[in-house]
A and B are shown apart, each in its own frame.
Chain A
Amino acid sequence: MTDKSNDPVAIWQNMIGEMEKGFNTVANHAMASPEFSKVVNQVGGVAAGAQKQLGDLMEKYLVTMNLPSRAQMVSMAERLQSIEGQLNEIKALLHQVRSNSGGLEGGYPATPKPPRTKRPPSADGEQK
């Protein structure tokens, strides 16, 4: 077989790895400058403001088109989440009742909780 230094695939993979490292190092160096921070935050601030305005505009457009807006969908998702939450509460309560009663009448016995008696293994690997 060819050794790594002459294997074109290995050379290619190594080159990609080195390029990644090199680019990251150069970029990190550039990103550490105050000028970078200034530019990024100016652009970011403008983008955030524009995103907010676009969102408001889209909301009005959807109302005009008689379509549900994102806020309405989010509100619906919240209601679903709330129902899910209540179902989970009921499930937890049922679980508790089942544990307390030692199983539902005529049903499967409740899974007993394992005892909290475990000790760490000793140095020779045996359970204490």
Chain B
Amino acid sequence: MNGPPGLDLAAIPERIQSEVQRAIQRSIKGVEYFSSSGPSLGLTPKDILHVRGTMNLYHYWPVADEIYRVPILIVMATTNRGYILDMVPGQSFIEFLLKRGYDVYMLDWTAPKPEEKSLRMEDYVLDFIPDCVRRVQQDSGETELTVIGYCFGGVLSLLYGSIFADGPMKNLICFTTPVDFREMKLFQNFSDRRYFDLDRLIDSVGNVPPEMILSSFEMLRPASRAASQVQLWENIWNDEYVKSYRMFDRWATDTLPLAGEYFRAITKDLMWDNKLYNDTMSVGGRPADIAKIKVPILHAVAEHDHIVPYDAAKPLIQKIGSTDKEEVILKGGHVSLVAGANAVKRLWPKLDSWLGGRST
């Protein structure tokens, strides 16, 4: 019997059998899915060196017999939890760094409390980061350190580095860090100053609720959540797929609120006035011009980043004052750049080869 070209009729029973088996597996695994919790995340052993309000400083236990002289301080984005960089063994950026002989600290954030609504940009840049830097210096016994900033953590690191240009930052690594906020076109439109009553919002809610932050991220790709649910159902028989889905879904929905005054400054100074790009940014009255940063810098950006489009991140390398500077464009999106199977193969080895020689 002849079928359409490319269709092997003899293989159809086998295909049907396979699909029936998967359908049965879906039902069994579907019940398991709803009756079990996801994998535990962020479990690489660490000490909590310091906790102050929304700020947490962790020190991960070194695992190598010999470590690089210069410690690393990771500055996490203020909208999300740091465990994206420490998912599960084998998919943990932190674990990777420790095994490669780095001494790793992380500045992570918890939800600001209602009375922390008055935290300003200067609290983050002139207080929290310098406080953590001092503690890393005390704990490690080293003066210099490498700063790694992810997304808005990169913006905070740039502001810190430009104000404290004389040190102690030795190297700077930014992951998908926006500089030209005009190019974040949808965020620009959401916060259009003609219609977005920023002051009224902050004055009425205090801290910007996490639901609002999450909605603004999800609105950038409105069909993706529904499509991912369909894909989950199709692949629910596949334990590895489900594990990965649960890890990333949990992290993506675990969004943090933002302190009201801090959000006001981000919107006015960066989204509306684009001060970082226009070289007019200041924090607490101190000019923050990224051309003053002279330390070696690596900027990793994602080819398909829908949150920080490449055009928003591109000017970083052009504007920074460093002579030892490199931009690397990797396949992937805003999250898959730093975590997951792609990151394991692409970003992490690249970062190690760049940083090792600069950490002695």
Contacts and interface: CB of A to CB of B under 8 A. Distances in A.
Given A16-B230, A84-B51, A41 B196 contact: yes
Contacts of A14: none
A6 B227 contact: no
B224 to A, nearest CB: 6
A31 interface: yes
A1 interface: yes
Nearest to A86: B51
B189 A32 contact: yes
Interface in A69-99: 71, 74, 78, 81, 84-85, 88, 91-92, 95
A36 B223 CA distance: 17
B231 A116 contact: no
A2 B6 contact: yes
A2 B15 contact: yes
Given A20-B227, A95-B47, A116-B68, A37 B360 contact: no
Interface stretch (A47-55, A60-68, A101-109): A47-55
Given A6-B6, A16-B230, A91-B47, A1 B186 contact: no
A57 interface: no
B266 to A, nearest CB: 17
A113 B62 contact: yes
Given A48-B201, A49-B204, A120-B357, A24 B6 contact: no
Contacts of B190: 31, 37, 40-41
Nearest to A49: B204
Given A1-B11, A6-B6, A92-B49, A45 B201 contact: yes
Interface of B: 4, 6-8, 11-12, 15, 19, 47-52, 62, 64-69, 101, 103, 113-114, 140, 142, 185-186, 189-190, 192, 194-197, 200-201, 204-205, 209, 212, 219-224, 226-227, 230-231, 234, 356-357, 359-360
Interface of A: 1-3, 5-7, 9, 13, 16-17, 19-20, 23-24, 27-28, 31-34, 36-38, 40-42, 44-45, 48-49, 51-52, 71, 74, 78, 81, 84-85, 88, 91-92, 95, 113-121
4 residue pairs, one from A and one from B, having the closest CB atoms = A120-B356, A23-B223, A20-B227, A41-B195
Given A3-B6, A31-B189, A34-B194, 16 more contacts: A2-B7, A2-B8, A6-B6, A19-B227, A31-B190, A32-B186, A40-B190, A42-B195, A45-B197, A48-B201, A51-B209, A116-B67, A116-B142, A117-B69, A120-B356, A121-B356
